[in-house]
Structure 1
């Protein structure tokens, strides 16, 4: 039989956005965090490269803002970009305080203002500003936040729960527009339960699952965005999807991302004949923003009628590769690809939904009591 539950806060989504929110809310609130599958099934766990922030004393907020606006083709909301970049260092410090094991810099103090963590560089950035945990940053962040959430008695983590639709006063025939919770399918019992809440937060990720090549898990199908729209929220920029330039191309590899940090550390993109081609498209070559690199790869694949291009870091020392990219090394090895000795076949893959549910800087949607955060939301940052 279906059941009814009541919480102060209902968080739909158990990735970095949902868990971070749950951990920063007051401890007297009763919070339910829903995951449509296992807790680790979302996109956060699979993220590799790292998080961009102004962490080096030689870097500046203005530089990061300018890089972001340039990478966004002048379409970003500058207020949202500046707000995010100005708070980036404190956000990273919060993750460090939670215990995220970011990779430390063995040369700290020599030329980086004494910052103790290793910073790498990714496309579109003019500085090394990517803090990371080797090449499994998402897993490190997720595991840390999940461990913290499990220690909080006010946070209930619920797996195999699929939000079906939002409950609003209007839909119940009541005066007003407020969101009152959600109808949720319990995949174990097969029943649709009612979850009432004073505040409902959509943290359900994006919609990149629908593409042939995607780096995203099966759950990222845009259902949170659709629920918000059906409830009367505005959505925006859903035509903008970021493509990651380098996803492993192999018949047995369903969706494995090859972190951008490889290119940040000197990997070259090559055609089947071994020729580099990015310098023909942008003076930054492999370190151009993702949209430029992805379009260049797509252009060369269509021009030559080839299935993929190749990413090669084998000219770097073997020990360096294994230390910096252990996840990529081990995963590729399962497909008989030794990245210390040869190139990796790659294709662009749908990666991030830039649009979403329109919100203000506090995550508020058009419907009272309903918030959207993370990839589900549209702030103008992306």
Structure 2
């Protein structure tokens, strides 16, 4: 990649190419027109370049970053598989969040200090020898730098300048010594770590267990997640070796079996209840069902009776039966004094009878002048209508 140069001659012809730029050679320069063609191809805004938030300039053969000044609104810049040797001329991209410049010809990480919103940086498959140039990138969360030329532990010191990093990919570099883990331990938010393919990994016994115990927040190591049970096993191994790990594994197994039994029992109980089966799995008898039904009806009737008593105690109601009772009682009173005629026309007015029995006047259903009229009126009505 680093030695790539445009061909000066055409295959089968010893004469050099014409110096006149062709469409093929012009596309290798990041000209304003080439960038506009890219924008147009991907459905962007050519009339207002600052409105574009993505620029797909990958697989174009560009050798230099330039002419990006109008693209101030970029949030994602894709420059994968070009021939770019230096990160430059992008300090004005203040809104940039994701920068993908993998598989180029970079030898150094630089020119990023002004990109305060940068969250993801991919510089994989380059010729980088050290992690540097990250100071001031307070929002940087993900650094992908696999397949580079990082060999020494001190080349990782630049990571400390960016403590917010949670994802670090250093796989397939040339790190020889495991003391590089001392630097990585200084990353307080590290959750995802890739180290496979480095020489020290092949030399390090019990690599995975040791890494898990040294990084308490780690949730993913190389190509596998770190589950809670994996962490418990690794911590047990760190405390007491293989015997402690074996005991922890057996404890987890017993715990899982107990949880499975409990779940099966709960499912079986729900199944019996849903299908009206007894504890022995047989269908419940009809008599027991009828008994349960009668008990439920009895409870409902009792509750209704209590509600009626409460309602009567709170507020007396005038009904057809109550009216006839009042009439009979008044008639007996009048007969005892021998002052009342047998004809109903001589019965006092309903208001007087109600007053005698302390029935509030507001509870009278109608305003008839005599009990006889009220009786005649209620004779044609149902009990519910009068109530």
The alignment's TM-score, normalised by the length of structure 1, stands at 0.18
- Higher relative strand content: 1
Higher relative contact order, structure no. (Cα contacts within 8 Å, ≥ 6 residues apart): 1
Larger radius of gyration: 2
- Higher relative helix content: 2
